[in-house]
Chain A
């Protein structure tokens, strides 16, 4: 087996706040092979976006990053700014959550597409223009040549996210990071965008990190899933193995929190009670213990390490993994 395209090794991100240092990402290890999809799932504030920013080296200035982010044989955290710049946009691309704010309002769509292409590929303006039109057509934008002269505010949200994807795909990246790419969109558009990403990924044989708070989004689309909570990876498994049998109570709670279409009217949503722990005051025990229905006294005193389950590649961090017979809603 070849070396993974991306290896995140012992990565931690600390942010200084007025109330003390905040550990946004707490010693995470992950890896991803070329052409495969890794889903990162967790609630808001669990550190999944910070982790993706750590990979992109786009952390806030004050943030402190430790650990290694090996991409294509080089440590991005140690890379000189100029070499990092040549990598970004070309081999390493990103789609942000909100297409209403991620495109520059004063530049035309054509400018924003062509500048990336001309920065990284040796194409002249007419060639870059031709490629932009092809890209817009590939992401499903009608009349792409007319769109080039338009500004972002003249397009709908779904349209803008397609444009953002076209920009990300423009130099055939090896890795695409999609950070909640559908959260800001209408439900009807979400599936279209996710299918578009999956289709382009297969066609271009690129690796993808799909970040979401919705386990349902990664279900059919990721090869592997990492569940994050309070800055840590608490369960990690090949997607099918995870959905067949989840070990971590938090994963189960996340799955249960997805509203069911067939639920009777007025059924209260099965939200996870309580809040994530204050990241400036780390708990001594398992971070999920205060909200966990299975928590025992040992959970409050020590942090469970990631341990292997029976299935190879399935890891979980829990002293009292869920037994099949106990599963809710099974």
Chain B
């Protein structure tokens, strides 16, 4: 097991290195001179040249990458030239919002997707299965801004149950905070559950054909035990992968949902950085989000081993 963990950790290193190189290149190869952006239209060529020298922009690309990477490794991702905030400060301010949104969305998504998938697989081809597969397909083809607007209309405008937009930190008013998050999380969850449901349903249907399920029936076990103990665990590997990818994706914030519901998360930080050409923030945030994604995938690999003893013992 320890061997397995070390192997997976080592495999992460080249990935992280590639991620850092790509994020650096994205920011560096964008058209437009950073010094010119900072100084504005009225800058004289001399001022621009001086600032380029100060910022090291006159150095070759590989040198700039190495010195940036050196700083990153020491925990210094740079500072916004607009707000003066460091990247870490800006992210630390926004990440609780995106994290909470992600957790609530995934939780609701799994809460809908997993039971529906199990119920569908238990009677595959039945009326409930056909109805839910159809609904999932319909949900999958609805864009999130449309879902968001419909939810706001129904729950905020018509029923007045929940606030349409806004945010307060959980630490200040926990209940109000949760109320602000319900609609955005539900918007995301309604897009998440069809994927969750479809992969788990098809894996469950395949598992239910296995000999060991026939034996479990022949042993006279209760149907619920067969579904939840014998079939769910071996069927959930793809589900874990999909959930991992979803979490990684939502970690980077969700531009549309955060914008519609006025949530100050990572997504809106990125949009603002792009609009203001705040390349340092852009670069730093993309790097951190990408690292988060890699780490989530590492955790997914570890979960495989928890779910399947054959992976744990190096048999598969």
Contacts and interface: CB of A to CB of B under 8 A. Distances in A.
Interface in A43-89: 56, 58, 85-89
Contacts of B220: 85-90, 116, 119-120
Interface of B: 210-212, 214-223, 225, 229-230, 233-234, 307-310, 313, 315
B203 to A, nearest CB: 13
Given A105-B234, A116-B220, A154 B211 contact: no
A154 B212 contact: no
Interface residues of A, number: 29
A94 to B, nearest CB: 5
Contacts of B215: 94, 96, 102-103, 164, 167
Nearest to A177: B218
A242 B229 CA distance: 46
A104 B222 CA distance: 16
A180 to B, nearest CB: 12
Contacts of B211: 96, 98, 101-102
Contacts of B310: 105, 151, 153
A89 B309 contact: no
Contacts of A56: 218
A296 interface: no
A317 interface: no
Given A102-B211, A154-B313, A107 B230 contact: yes
Contact of A94 (B218, B221, B225, B313): B218
Contacts of A25: none
Interface in A92-123: 92-94, 96, 98, 101-107, 115-116, 119-120
A153 B218 contact: no
A90 to B, nearest CB: 6
B218 A115 contact: no
A205 B35 CA distance: 92
B309 A115 contact: no
A105 B308 contact: yes
Contacts of B221: 85, 89, 115-116, 119
A94 B215 CA distance: 8
Interface string A159-191: 000001001000000000000000000000000
Contacts of A153: 309-310, 313, 315
Given A96-B211, A151-B309, A153-B313, A104 B218 contact: no
Contacts of B315: 153
A232 to B, nearest CB: 25
Nearest to A113: B219
A261 B308 CA distance: 44
Nearest to B212: A104
25 contacts: A56-B218, A85-B220, A85-B223, A86-B220, A88-B218, A90-B220, A92-B218, A94-B218, A96-B214, A98-B211, A101-B211, A103-B212, A104-B212, A104-B234, A105-B234, A105-B310, A106-B233, A115-B219, A115-B221, A116-B220, A119-B222, A153-B310, A153-B315, A167-B215, A167-B219
